Structures are given as structure tokens and as C-alpha cells.
Structure 1
């Protein structure tokens, strides 16, 4: 204990530095606890018209395309991602049930919304073409658009540098209409998916493509690299609702407006933290960060050492006290059994001797240390036939678990004696059979001591 007392000042500093080093982790944990607390969300206030609309239309069909981190199917086929968490939150607020219907491209998704097969989408950016048949909710986040080019080409920093070059875009891309209008010199090639667009850039058939900056960072660089942001173009996160559903749009806007800043931030941190590349920290900043983490680990280790030492000392003290109490109990039991005038013995489930008193030793002319752990027929205290018979009776009695009290004649080494024998099965605290407790009273000896000459 002197060792730990001497270390107390140093350990206090380590604990303080450790708390500083772990402060960022504590803040992240505080924010992340909101991510899965859907059951704690309070319902929002809706007017009677909106509540009636939900009763009439409890299920809302979502046209969903695989868009990693925002919306995707996990290994179990369940929809997951940032936008799915937003829908779960809205569901808890309103009672609406959102049913995903998978689409395989942006064009396919737009067709389903136009035809009325689907009601909403969570991954569509807003443009003039789409506003003709879609309404868009309040924004709840967003990201920029970035250029993606071949690794061997110069990074694109603006649309002007793409003049007379091939720009490949996924079908009905949110920026396609504006680029065709404002930059007619760019040769635009349309394909179905972002994957096909990246493949054409890798093969050299197109100079570049444009993707959401979060999605662009998810794929390994390989033959591609991410360039600069498309200036003045921002992809805000909206819920797109097909025209003719004003009640649904109003409900969604009220739900999004009820989101707290902490809830939205924790959801985005859960899925998007660490995706966007950060500038490399300086050597000094890295050393400070490593030092904080090292002090945090050392402080935590020191604190755990103190707690463990105290806990161990308390356990040792408790064990010593328990051992002393147990020793006192055993000493009392031995003294009590030894004080009994009649022979008493304890045998285990195999008939081996566990304990006996002094009267037992005197009656059979043995010593406990000589016969401990041995069966009755394994030492020469009784005639062999008597020892075998008694051992068989003991084993049968433990099988039947019945007590036995009886008068009988038994052949000892000193001759035939009349005894009163008793044997009782005994059990552990959990009810398991542990062995047999027994003894006898020598009636013949008692009669001699009392001067009785009556027949046996």
C-alpha cells in the first residue's frame, strides 16, 4: 500500500490528463446516444386533416436506389443508412410506415414517381425538371458535387476546363439540364448508373464525371481520383414527394422541423464522419494528440490499478474472515462429535470415510488418520463378512435415500453384540446427496455397565 500512496500525486495528474485525452470520445458518445433512441421520440402535433390523411394512408412507398451511406441494403437485405434513420425518426414522430421499393437507377426512380407507383424518394436532388412533377421538403443537410477524373489526367477545378471534352453523367442527373444550357461546348454522354459513368472514365472513353462528394470518397481510388468541387452547385438533402400529396408534404415538413440540431448532427456523424478527407495534421498537432492519448491510457491504467488494488485487498480481508469463521465452525463440529459417547461416522457417496469421532476409533480400535478415505472392508476393524455386508447396506441406502433406525445383532472382532444402529443420508445446501451420516449404540456394553443380566 505504501507504493500506491507514493504514487498518488502522479496518478492524479495522469487521471486529469487522461480525462483531457478522452474528452473527444465522451462528446462523440454523448452525441451518438441519440442515434438509436427512436423509442424516446415524442410525437409531433398534427391538425385533424393531417391525422385523417395518415389514417387513410398509413403506408408510404419510398422509391429507393442503392446509394451507400445514405440508403443501401445491408447483408441481411434490410434497408439502412442516414436517410433510412431519418425516415425511422419521422415514423416515430407521426406513425407513418415507410415501405422501400427498390429502383435500379435515377431514371427508373423518377419514372416510378411520375407514374404514381411510389410516393416519395430520399436521394433526389432538386432541379427545374423534377420540380414539374415533384414537391421537395425542407432540407436536412447536404453535400457538394465533385469532379471525378482518370488518375493520369489533371484534376478538374471548374466546368470551363471541360470544354470540348466528354463528360459522362448518370441518366437524368440533377446537374445535366443546367450544364447543357450554360456550357454547350461540353459533350455530355448519358448512362444509367454512377457505376457505368466511373467505368467509362477509367477506360478513357470519357474525361470525367460528377458525383456527390460523400459517394465519391467511398470507392477505392484505383484508376480514378477526385478533383475539386463544382463551384456554386450544392446538393441539399430533401425528401421528394410526388405532386398531389400536399398533406404528406406538410406532415414531412413538420417532422423535419421538429428535429433538434443534436439529433441531425448525431445521425450524420454516425454515417458520414470520417468519409470526407481532412487536411493532414502537422507533426506538432500529431505529437500533441498522441501525447494526450498516451496520458489518457496511462491515467486510465493508474486509476484501474488503484481500484483493483482496493478491491483485491477487500476481497482478501473478506476471505480471511470467512476462512476464520469456517475454521471456528469446523472446530466446534469436531468438538461436538468427539464429545458424543456413541460412535459416529460420515461417509461419502462411494462409502469412503470422511470423518469419525473418538468413540468410533475406540470401538473399532483404529485411528482416524489410518482409515480416512477408505471403505469399511478396506481395513481390518471388523470381520470381512460384516464389513462387506455393512458397505452394501450403506450403498443401497444412499440409492434409496431412506433413513434407517434399527436394533440388530452384529459380529465384531470381540464377538456378537446387540446394537442400536442409525444411518441418515445428508445433502448439500443445493439439495444434492453428499453421503451418509451414521453411528450406533452398543446395547450389550450398556447392559454390562448397568449390571443387567437379562437375556438379549
Structure 2
């Protein structure tokens, strides 16, 4: 009797935590059904005659889209997905506008398409004075802060003042570049093509820090990098950027965003961004509450162990299967993401042997991964012997020096000499050990041919 009398409080705690878990499950189910509800219960936004006529004359809107996981990316089936794509779907249901994605490969490339009129809008551009010269921005529908990203072994970067007389690397035409050049002239700014190149330069020590959206900074394994503080006073609001000269489109988008139900917008953001944004440092009182909760859980589990042991084994097995499935889904997504990259990419080990490559690499060199995996460049009849030997020697030098390489050059392929933008960066394991090289190239010759460029060199 004494045992069961002492067991009652523990069972009460278990019932309470079970109830909380059931509430979380109901919220998750509601988020999962959100898309279906949106599709069924969408009221069209009220537009004036000029706006309705504009939609009839321009039924399709071209979106300059760059791969930005969680916000906007192509899934394993090549379909555009993400938070911003869900917002565009909702705008389509409210207005009848059709959005056609046109992939861009960097922020600079996206801005060029908008400036030249090849695209009408973008969903991932932050507002800046330079961009407002040729773009109009819709009402905001969310946002995130900017954070510093520096080397793990260096002091955490908490402010722009810390970067005085140091190298800050940013993707070309970054939203904060003009402000930093004006207000912090002592900071040496270095421009690169993408955020991946910026992170690589920070890892190698060639730059002291970079600045990223706080959501994007949490998406990649940090390795030799660590996230610092927020850039004070700088907020990256989520806007739809519209090229100048399209006031009707801007007005239609603003009306749709104004009519967007706040609960649905919150549900979409939770669907994609829950658990990704930076968490504030808990106070001592919050930690004490958390410790108290854990102590109550441990006592409850210990008191009722004799009654629920068999059921606990079943729960553990289910959790393990769910974790394995989640890991498998993550790996499948990563492989699909790499294969979706339009440029050839490869990974080589410390001896220069191929670990993996994407489909663009197979197509560019007319090989299959299962044929060339584990082999050196010279052991594969994919490149002229001299080219293969030269590239292999460069890889070995990079592995010894641990330096990244980004260069525009001419290379001799089987089908002739081509101008490429080549990049290779060392990559490391979680414990900081060098594991090999990650690299790829962009075929500039092919891009010019596809775009019909007749530039003189």
C-alpha cells in the first residue's frame, strides 16, 4: 500500500506531461493540414478595374529565384518549394496571378535579371538604398536579423566595431555592403560570388567574418565556423521586390499581403522555420524551471518503471525507427539538393580519389559515378592526360596548404578548350580534421553560348 500511495504523485506528473505531448501532436496535425485548408478557404482579394485588366494582360509573372533552403529551393522532383513559394501560392489563389520561377545562381545574377527586365519580381532580396533605385518593395510579411559568422577558434564577433582593420567577406552587392563601407571605412570588405565561398574564406582564415541571415546561418554544419551576435539595428524584412515601372503589380501584391490572414502566415512560418532561428540565452530562473521539470520527469519515470517497462521498450523502438527515417530523409534531401545544382560538383579524399559527384559532373565528363568512384583523375579517361595530371597536382598542393582556390581559367576538355570558373575548398570533419576537397566549376563558355552573349574579350 505504501508503494502505491507514493506512486500516485509520479503517475500524476506522467499524466500531465502526456497531456502536453498530446497538445503538441494536435498542433503538428493542424500545421500538416494547413495547405489543404488554404486551398479550400481562400477568398479573392478586391481589385480595381485597372488591376484586373493588368492581370488579364499579364497573367504570368517571372520570379528571379535563387536556391535559398527553407525559403525557396527545388525539391528532389525539381519543383520549387519553401516558405516564400507557399506565400506565392496563396497570392495566386487570392488574385489569379501565375508565378513562373526562373533560376538564378547568385544575388548579383538575380539583380542583373531584374535590372535588365528579364524577371519581374524576387522573393529573397533584402531592401537597400542601391536596390531601391531600380526596385519597389512590397509590404513586409516577416523577417529575420543579420548575424556574424566567424571562425570557431577566434573570439565571437558581436559588433561591426570588432572588424576594424579586418577582412569582412560578403557576396557581391550584399544588402549591407554600402552601409558598412560608409559607416565603417576601416573594415576591409572582400566580395565573392556566393555565401558558400564567403564561409570557405572564413574557414581558411583569409577573412575574419561574414554576415548572413540568422535563419540561413543555422542551416549548414558549422564545423570550423561559429555564429556570433546579431548585427545591431539591422533587420532583414521579408519583402517581394518588384522591378520599377510595374505599379499595378506592386499594388496587387500589397493588397494580397494585407488580406493574408495572420494565423495562416504564422502557420506557414512555423511549418518551415520552427527550431531554426537563434534561441535566446535562458536566464537563471528559466534554467531552474527547466531543471525542475526534468527532475519531476525523472522521478515520475523512476517511480512507474515497474509498471511501464514493456511499453517503454515499444516506445524506444518506435523512436529509433522514426530517427532512422528522419536521418534517411535528410540524406535523401542532401543528395537531391546536390544533384539539382546546375554546375558540376565533386568531393575527393586526401589522396585525390573521388568520393562522390553530382549529375552535372557526370554529364560534363560523360562518366558515371559508379565507374569513377574511388579513382584518381589520371585513372579515368574523362579528361586529356595533361589536364588530369595538372588538376591532380593542384589538388595535392591545396591539401598540403589547406588553401581554398577560386579562379577563372581555360581548361582543355575532350571536346576542346573551355573557359570556366573553378573553385575548390578543403573540408573538415566535426573534430576539425582535414578530410579532402569539395570543388566544382561553372562552364562560362557554355553559359555565354546559351545566353547568346557576343561579348568581346
TM-score of the two chains, using structure 1 as the length reference? 0.60
Q: Name 1:257's counterpart in structure 2.
A: 258
Q: Distance in 2 between matches of 1:83 and 1:294?
A: 45
- Structure 1 pair 99/211, CA: closer, same or farther in 2 (3 Å)? same
Match 1:288 to one of 293, 297, 301: 293
With over 3 angstroms needed to count, the CA separation of the structure-2 counterparts of 1:36 and 1:230, relative to structure 1, is farther
Q: 1:233-264 CA distances to partner (integer Å, 9 max, x unpaired)?
A: 00000000000101100010011111111111
Supply the distance in 2 between the matched residues of 1:176 and 1:170 (Cα, whole angstroms): 9
Distance 1:190 1:156 in 2: 19
Is 1:32–1:266's contact at 8 Å kept on the other side of the alignment? no
Q: CA separation of 1:18/1:292 partners in 2, compared to 1, >3 Å: closer, same or farther?
A: farther
Residue 53 of structure 2: aligned partner = 52
Deviation at 1:282, TM superposition (A): 3.1
SS in 2 for 1:270: helix
Over 3 Å counting, the alpha-carbon distance change for 1:295 and 1:84 in structure 2 is farther
Secondary structure of residue in 2 paired with 1:60: strand
Deviation at 1:286, TM superposition (A): 5.3
Residue aligning to 2:38: 38
For the residue of structure 2 that corresponds to 1:125, the secondary structure is coil
Other-structure match for 2:24? 24
Shift of 1:27: 3.4
Mean Cα displacement is larger for which, 165-174 or 23-32?
23-32
Residue of structure 1 equivalent to 2:99: 98
* Counterpart-to-counterpart distance in 2, 1:79 and 1:145: 25
| 1:219 alignment partner in structure 2 | 220
Matches within 5 A, 1:81-160: 81-160=82-161
d(CA) in 2 for partners of 1:291, 1:72: 43
Matched residue, 2:80: 79
Q: Secondary structure at the match of 1:113?
A: helix
- SS of the residue corresponding to residue 218 of structure 2 reads helix
Distance 1:286 1:253 in 2: 46
| Displacement of 1:201 | 0.6
Alignment of 1:342-357 (within 5 A): none
CA distance in 2, matches of 1:256, 1:203: 43
Q: Is the 8 A contact 1:113 1:119 kept in 2?
A: yes
How far did 1:21 drift? 3.9
CA shift in 2, pair 1:11/1:136, >3 Å: same
Relative to 1, partners in 2 of residues 1:283 and 1:121: Cα closer, same or farther, differing over 3 Å? same
- SS for the counterpart of 2:253 is helix
Does the 8 A contact of 1:140 with 1:256 survive in 2? yes
**1:289-304 equivalent positions in 2, closer than 5 A:** none
Output the CA distance in 2 between the equivalents of 1:293 and 1:101: 53
- Contact (CA 8 Å) 1:21, 1:292: kept in 2 or not? no
Distance of 2:298 and 2:31 partners within structure 1: 21
Alpha-carbon RMSD: 2.8
Shift of 1:31: 4.6
Residues of 1 paired with 2:119 and 2:212: CA distance?
25
In structure 1, the gaps of 5 or more residues are 1-9, 306-456
Please name the residue that 1:168 is paired with: 169
Alpha-carbon offset, residue 99 of structure 1: 0.5
Distance across 1 between alignment mates of 2:23 and 2:295: 14
Going from structure 1 to structure 2, the CA distance change for 1:155 and 1:273 (only over 3 Å counts) comes to: same
Alpha-carbon deviation of 1:42? 1.7
Over 3 Å counting, the alpha-carbon distance change for 1:291 and 1:81 in structure 2 is: farther
Alignment of 1:175-254 (within 5 A): 175-254=176-255
Q: Distance in 2 between matches of 1:283 and 1:179?
A: 41
Whole-angstrom distance in 1 between the partners of 2:251 and 2:295:
49
How many angstroms apart in 2 are the aligned matches of 1:293 and 1:137? 51
Distance 1:158 1:12, change over 3 A: closer
Matches of 1:165 and 1:62 in 2, distance apart?
37
- Check conservation: 1:112, 1:118, Cα contact below 8 A: yes
Residues 63, 100 of structure 1: 8 Å contact kept: yes
Q: Indicate conservation of the 8 Å contact 1:31/1:262, yes or no.
A: no
* Cα distance change, pair 225–48 in 1 and its aligned pair in 2 (3 A): same
Residues 324-403 of structure 1: pairs in structure 2 closer than 5 A = none
Give CA deviations for 1:340-380 in whole Å, capped at 9, x if unaligned: xxxxxxxxxxxxxxxxxxxxxxxxxxxxxxxxxxxxxxxxx
For 1:166 and 1:175, how far apart are their aligned partners in 2? 15
Separation of aligned partners in 2, 1:285 and 1:88: 40
Pairwise CA distance, 1:11: 9.0
